[in-house]
Structure 1
Amino acid sequence: MPLHELAALAAAFCWAITGMLSKDSADALGPFGFNRLREGMVTAMLAVIVVATGRWHGVGYDDFSRLALSGIIGIFIGDTMLYVALVRMGPRRSGALFSLNAPIAALLGWVVLGEDLSIRALAGVFLTTCGVAMAVLGRTGRAGGHRFEAVHGPIWAAVGFGLVAATGQAAGSLIARPVMATGFDPYVASLIRVGVAVTCITALMALPIPAIQQRGRITARLLGMTALSGFIAMVVGMTLLMFALQGGYVGIVSTLSALSPILILPAIWAVTGERPSAVSWLGALLRCWGWG
């Protein structure tokens, strides 16, 4: 498998495990408070890497504006809505919904960029949607009593947040692709995207709206878990995705980076000690086969 495709697959593995790492912290701090803390820590990590390795050589206005817009849509909106879905329906279901970013990217390419969408691609969108529906709505298996499988509030609302998250990720990748195709440094690109996103989150949370405020107090354990989650998902995972976009096709990269629904099932099995249901496995396989 080519290097750029391997990078996309590695990014999927990073995102599969960080959903579980993030669950307790997102519950404790709320999705907005957790995302602000995590993206702030990730920005600091990336800044240290970029400065220490001398990667910053100046960025043109066009490249910066594209990456900033990608960060607003893909991270500020996309990631925040992902954590809202994570709090409401757990890492397995929210991860399955988030993986819809691959077919959504194809549909956006068709609508916005005028790219061809074959009958095979349309069939893939249909099969992917069916697979995600099975993964989200199907039986949870023996792990159903674990907190990772609990659903809080109406399932349709959680599904809506997950769809917004997937759409944000897809749109963010499409916007960043022309910049990354020129060989733009992936660490600098990640720094710009995350830095802009955390600035937007901080500005939003300054508004006197109770629903978007941080819920709990930041403890040493929450700080450590959030830092680990941010490092694996954003410093490693997102940078791998930016690298993959340098030389890989958006559709292939999106497909491989969206394999998290399959990768997360054995991880949940290991953590909970209970086997996911056959419906969960079938839904995950169908989702990936439909867009494979």
Structure 2
Amino acid sequence: MQYIGEIAGIATAVFWTVTSMSFQVATRRVGSLNVNIIRLVLAFVFYMLYMRMSRGIWLPTDASPEAWKWLGISGLIGFVLGDFFLFQSYAFVSARISMLMMSLAPPVAALLGYIILGERFTLLNTVGLLLVLSGIAMVILNRGDKTESNRRFKYPLKGILLAFGGAVGQGSGAVLSKFGMGSYDAFSASQIRVIAGVLGFSLIFTLTRKWKGVFSTVKDIKAMKPILIGAFFGPFIGVGLSMVALQHTSAGIASTLMATVPVFILLPSVLFFGEKLTWREVLGAFVTVGGIAVFFIR
């Protein structure tokens, strides 16, 4: 199918929108670290069931040692380091600023894709990238309150650097995924990344002795419902489709399309959370959609 990579990238953004809303509810109730490890464990179970039904095996035992190595590293960088830095940044800057910094993930992916994979952008790809990033920036910069301090961008350097670390983790994780996956089954490759993420977070929880909070969360039905929904549409379906996108288009294009979550989440925010949109946010959405359209021009 033509444009399967681009379509998978957009679908990933839609599913991650559902995930973001679900995890927002869960995180405010039980904390981000608990949500992180539980969502990956649930995703691992989903992958096992899917693998058994689609390929007749529970685990990606047919993957090469090279694929395990690079996809494992990708999982550690993307799921563990990237998400850890992102969530830690919320303690110093608002989520709006953190998400703005996360929009730097596509340029990071494009740069690393050029260096590691030898991928190149055409002029139209570059225009599309700039349009998408500009639209995302317009939407995110206009979120939250409009105090003078916000307009001046006076934020703690530590928070900015942590959020940038999240963007680097996501962007580099995408490139390493594409490098390690090759022509291997995309969902099986995603399962390897999830396994690495579970092991990475397990080590963090063991060293910090925070397992008690995880066990308490599992018993909290009100927290587990949104975590279950988020795990299905995020680390399972969403990440699986993100691997399909990376497999069928360049890392820069795939990462850019997947970075449109802040735009897709605008309408659900109005419908489910009663938020109001400004003209800048609407214009930003149109600019982003225009950027996505440019990617379909060959």
Pairwise TM-score range, normalised by the shorter structure: 0.7 to 0.9
Q: Match for 2:94 among 69, 89, 92?
A: 89
Q: Encode CA deviations 1:179-228: one digit per residue, 9 max, x unaligned.
A: 3332x112211111011111111111212378x98489411111111011
Report the residue type matching 1:198 in the other structure.
V
* Contact residue 101 and residue 163 of structure 2 kept, 8 A: yes
The residue aligned with 1:260 is 261
Report the residue type matching 1:35 in the other structure.
N
Count, aligned residues: 279
Which deviates more from structure 2 when the two are superposed, residues 156-165 or residues 3-12?
156-165
The residue aligned with 1:149 is none
Q: Encode CA deviations 1:51-97: one digit per residue, 9 max, x unaligned.
A: 3431545221111101101101111112333444568634x665554
* Contact residue 129 and residue 256 of structure 2 kept, 8 A: no
In the TM superposition, 1:95-106 aligns within 5 A as 95-106=99-110
Normalising by structure 1, what TM-score?
A: 0.80
Q: Encode CA deviations 1:247-266: one digit per residue, 9 max, x unaligned.
A: 22223222222221221111
The residue aligned with 1:151 is none
2:71 equivalent to 1:67: yes
Whole-angstrom distance in 1 between the partners of 2:163 and 2:286 = 19
The residue aligned with 1:201 is 201
Q: What are structure 2's unaligned runs of at least 5 residues?
A: 147-154
Report the residue type matching 1:258 in the other structure.
A
Which deviates more from structure 2 when the two are superposed, residues 277-286 or residues 46-55?
277-286
User: Per the alignment, do residues 124 and 27 of structure 1 end up closer, same or farther by CA in structure 2, a change over 3 Å counting?
Assistant: same
Report the residue type matching 1:186 in the other structure.
A
The residue aligned with 1:150 is none
Residue 280 of structure 2 aligns to a residue in which SS? helix
Superposed displacement of residue 235, structure 1: 1.0
The residue aligned with 2:163 is 162
Which deviates more from structure 2 when the two are superposed, residues 43-52 or residues 14-23?
43-52
2:184 equivalent to 1:179: no
Superposed displacement of residue 118, structure 1: 7.5
Superposed displacement of residue 229, structure 1: 0.3
The residue aligned with 2:152 is none
User: Per the alignment, do residues 89 and 16 of structure 1 end up closer, same or farther by CA in structure 2, a change over 3 Å counting?
Assistant: farther
* Contact residue 177 and residue 246 of structure 1 kept, 8 A: yes
Whole-angstrom distance in 2 between the partners of 1:83 and 1:26 = 10
Q: What are structure 1's unaligned runs of at least 5 residues?
A: 145-153
The residue aligned with 1:17 is 18
Whole-angstrom distance in 2 between the partners of 1:83 and 1:284 = 25
Whole-angstrom distance in 1 between the partners of 2:98 and 2:21 = 11
Whole-angstrom distance in 1 between the partners of 2:212 and 2:18 = 26
Report the residue type matching 2:200 in the other structure.
C
Whole-angstrom distance in 1 between the partners of 2:201 and 2:207 = 10
User: Per the alignment, do residues 57 and 204 of structure 1 end up closer, same or farther by CA in structure 2, a change over 3 Å counting?
Assistant: closer
Whole-angstrom distance in 2 between the partners of 1:7 and 1:234 = 15
Superposed displacement of residue 245, structure 1: 2.2
User: Per the alignment, do residues 229 and 104 of structure 1 end up closer, same or farther by CA in structure 2, a change over 3 Å counting?
Assistant: same
User: Per the alignment, do residues 2 and 122 of structure 1 end up closer, same or farther by CA in structure 2, a change over 3 Å counting?
Assistant: closer
* Contact residue 132 and residue 260 of structure 2 kept, 8 A: no
The residue aligned with 1:271 is 272
User: Per the alignment, do residues 24 and 139 of structure 1 end up closer, same or farther by CA in structure 2, a change over 3 Å counting?
Assistant: closer
Whole-angstrom distance in 2 between the partners of 1:57 and 1:208 = 31
Normalising by structure 2, what TM-score?
A: 0.78
Whole-angstrom distance in 2 between the partners of 1:251 and 1:173 = 9
Whole-angstrom distance in 1 between the partners of 2:193 and 2:130 = 31
Residue 207 of structure 1 aligns to a residue in which SS? helix
The residue aligned with 2:151 is none
User: Per the alignment, do residues 176 and 277 of structure 1 end up closer, same or farther by CA in structure 2, a change over 3 Å counting?
Assistant: same
The residue aligned with 1:38 is 39
Residue 265 of structure 2 aligns to a residue in which SS? helix
Q: Encode CA deviations 1:9-37: one digit per residue, 9 max, x unaligned.
A: 10010112211111121223222221011
User: Per the alignment, do residues 93 and 288 of structure 1 end up closer, same or farther by CA in structure 2, a change over 3 Å counting?
Assistant: farther
Which deviates more from structure 2 when the two are superposed, residues 188-197 or residues 20-29?
20-29
User: Per the alignment, do residues 95 and 134 of structure 1 end up closer, same or farther by CA in structure 2, a change over 3 Å counting?
Assistant: same
